[in-house]
Structures are given as structure tokens and as C-alpha cells.
Amino acid sequence: MTTSFPVSSKLFQRAQRLIPGGVNSPVRAFRNVGMNPFYTQSANGCRLTTPDGNEFIDYVLTWGPAIFGHNDPEIRAAVHAAVDCGLGFGTNAPAEVRMAELITQTVPAVEKVRMTNSGTEATMSAIRLARGFTQRTKIVKFAGGYHGHVDSLLVKSGSGAMTFGQPDSLGVTPGTAADTFVLPYNDFDAAEKLFAERGNEIAAIIVEPFLGNIGFIMPEPGFLAKLRELTARCGALLIFDEVMTGFRISLQGTMGVHEVRPDLVCLGKIIGGGLPVGAFGGRAEIMDCLAPLGGVYQAGTFCGHPVSLAAGVAALEKLIREKSVYEKLSAFGKTLAGELTRTARERGIALQVPHCGGMFALFFNENPVRNLEQATQSDPEKAKKLFRYAIENGVFLPPSPYESCFISTAHDEAALEKTVRVLCDGLRTL
């Protein structure tokens, strides 16, 4: 089979003349898989349709939000009803209160919550709040963790675990990067050493409790508890960035899997039901430092936008109502992972397929992946070849060797059967 994209190719040519790189977010450029991007004309259930007439079973799912699949009828109806009332008000709206109730009732550690327009805004605001509350300046993040395009968090590791970070993007000043420490994920000793030497300067740790932006990596037993212990000991805050994992791993995010409770939680994606949204919340005494009650400023014209929150409220209420969602997602992921690892083993191919809830990843690696360094030791050429084979045969994986895949409740038995067949056949070609 040869999948062609004549219409998408013309759109991309036009886009490159007017948009930097032809895309509005870098991963959409498909450069990591050696091809030009396609465009999506419509999406329904677990499938995307391009203007070229191609249809794909989708494992990107808007990078996570579409937990019920694309264009869910209940969410769409909620959006239509909200639009009928107006496109925005500039005042408070009832959906803000309902969203706050849903989040505080379901997400452990969140007593109060503030809405933003994106996950990036949520993490940016949480960092500012942590600094304001603790009256400290330094932030700790982990190599491979992505927390949006905030200057102080676009930082890579220095020459050693105890060095300050180095800018990971042009336009980020060395002074900004110097306020951030970068540690290896799952490294107990490095975290202990840093806090022993610099703990009284640290305002907060920000961490994706399950890394989702370099594939999908879960914490070693006790690692998150160690971070909780270190921050509590020195008076720093622990921030969980659950923009990706919130309401996707479980109804409580990763906190439904472990017992660790952070001081602040950042959310996004699913709480917008497919529309742009973000939120951060946590202990009331910390959240009350925000204006207008406190001296930490955060604001936004579209924060708590009524249309976005109508979609998000519909999504969260449906998740609460349909309690078997996560069992279904987990069962799909377990079956897919089992078939892929079995086929890879038969072919003598090193493959790891970590999975939990509605997320999984593919690492062409001999050993389980526990951090960024090990993730980048995986074979990117095999990942690229599998991506190309999959897209030629109607399955769309993330266009990068280092991204998570997502599952929706719309991925039915037919989708599972085709995905297993296509990806296993693809493995046999490597």
C-alpha cells in the first residue's frame, strides 16, 4: 500500500511561505520521522481523516485530551449549548465554579484551583506561586521533563548533577537558566545530594510524576516519596505537572496509582475536553497567596473561558459517571503491549512497551528505560521505520521516537486487531 498526501503537500508548501517551518508547533513538522506532515480534515472516534482521503487509527489523540475519542457527541453538545449563550463574557461564569468543584473533589491535594489558558501557563504560574510562597528563587526539574515553553524550564543539564542548568533554547538567558537545577529522573542519590547542599535555596521541585514527553517512563518505587521527603524537610514545595497524566492514568491522575501528595498540581488537556485550557491548584494556604488575596499576580482575559470549560466539565462528568473507562484503557494497552513484545522477542528485536492507564510508549531498547539518558540510547531508526510502515497501513503513531502514545475509549476491538496486525507486521520488516 502507498499512502499519498497530494492535498497535504500543497497545504504544507503554502504554510512554509507564511509560518516558521510551516507549523505552529515543532513536533507537527514530522522531521523526526523523515517526512512532510499531513493535515487533518476531520476526526471522529479513534480515527483521523485527511483532506487527501486517508484514514488513520489515531494514537496521538490531540496529544492526550481525546480520552473518549474525537468529536464525542456529549462534549460536542455541551460546546454547542455554551456557544449558543455567547463566545465569551469577560466576567465570571457558572462553568468556572463547576470545574473547580469537579477538580477539588477528584484530584487529591487540590483544595483550591485557578484556571489558565494552557498547561504552559499553569506551570509558569505554579512556579511563580511557589517562589512567592517560599520567598526562595531556585527550582529543580528533571532531565527529559517538559513543562511547557517557560523560559526557566527550557533548561538542560549542566556538566554535572550539581551544576545549574544551561539554556535549552535560544532566547533563554543564562541568568534565567541559573535559577534552575536539573537532575536525572529516578536518581535518588543526586536528589539527596542537591538538597543536602542547596536545599535552603530551593523554592520547589517540579516533576512530571510519570514522564510523558520522552516516551512514557514511570518512577522507580519510592522515588516520588523521596522527593516528598526532601521538599518537606527543607521547606520547599513539590509540584506535580499532571498536564498530560491528569485524568488519563486514572480519575486521580498518577495520584490514583501512588500515595504521594504534592503541594501543587498542574492540569490541562482532558480538563478542556479538546479545547485550550489549563489549571493549577493545591493547598489552600498556598493558593491564597494569589491576587486578589495575596501578592502573587496571575491573570488572563480568557482564563476560565465558558466554551472551553463547558467541554471540560462534560468530559470530567462523563469520566466520573463511566467508572469502567480506565479498566478499558488499561486492558487495551496491556493487550497491545503484550502482542508487540512477543513479536519483537520472536524477531530478536529489543523492544520495551511501558504502559499505564491510557498511555504507552515504544522504546527500541534492550532494557527498561528509567531516565532521559536511557531513552536516548534507544534505536531511533527502528522507531522511524515502524512509524513509516504504520502510516502506510492506516495507523498514526506520534511522529517522534520520544513521545507517548494515547488510547481512547473509542479504540474498539476492530482498532485493536488492526493495530496489532499492522505494528507486528511492521516489526517483522525491521
Tell me which amino acid residue 398 is: P
The DSSP call for residue 271 is: G
Distance CA 243, CA 219 (A): 17
Contact status, residue 213 vs residue 145, Cβ threshold 8 Å? yes
Query: The C-alpha cell of 335 is what?
Result: 493487550
* ω into 292 cis (within 30 of 0): yes
Cβ-Cβ contacts under 8 Å for 411 (sequence gap 6 or more): 46, 57, 69, 332, 419
Contact status, residue 351 vs residue 366, Cβ threshold 8 Å? no
Distance CA 164, CA 182 (A): 7
Of residues 59, 146, 389, 402, which has the active-site annotation?
146
Of residues 138, 241, 385, 402, which has the active-site annotation?
241
The helix/strand/coil state of 280 is: strand
241 is catalytic: yes
CA distances from 154 to 73, 141, 166 (A): 38, 10, 9
269 is catalytic: yes
Query: The C-alpha cell of 218 is what?
Result: 514511570
Given the DSSP bridges, would you call strands 47-49 and 359-360 parallel, antiparallel or unpaired? unpaired
For residue 47, the tally of other CB atoms under 10 A from its CB is: 18
Contact status, residue 375 vs residue 402, Cβ threshold 8 Å? yes
Query: The C-alpha cell of 159 is what?
Result: 556538566
Burial of 403 (0-12, 13-18, 19+ CB in 10 A): buried
* Nearest residue to 65 (alpha-carbon basis) of 427, 410, 368, 388: 410
Distance CA 105, CA 98 (A): 11
Of residues 138, 141, 226, 269, which has the active-site annotation?
269
Distance CA 171, CA 245 (A): 29
* Nearest residue to 136 (alpha-carbon basis) of 206, 199, 229, 208: 199
User: What is the set of active-site residues?
Assistant: 146, 241, 269
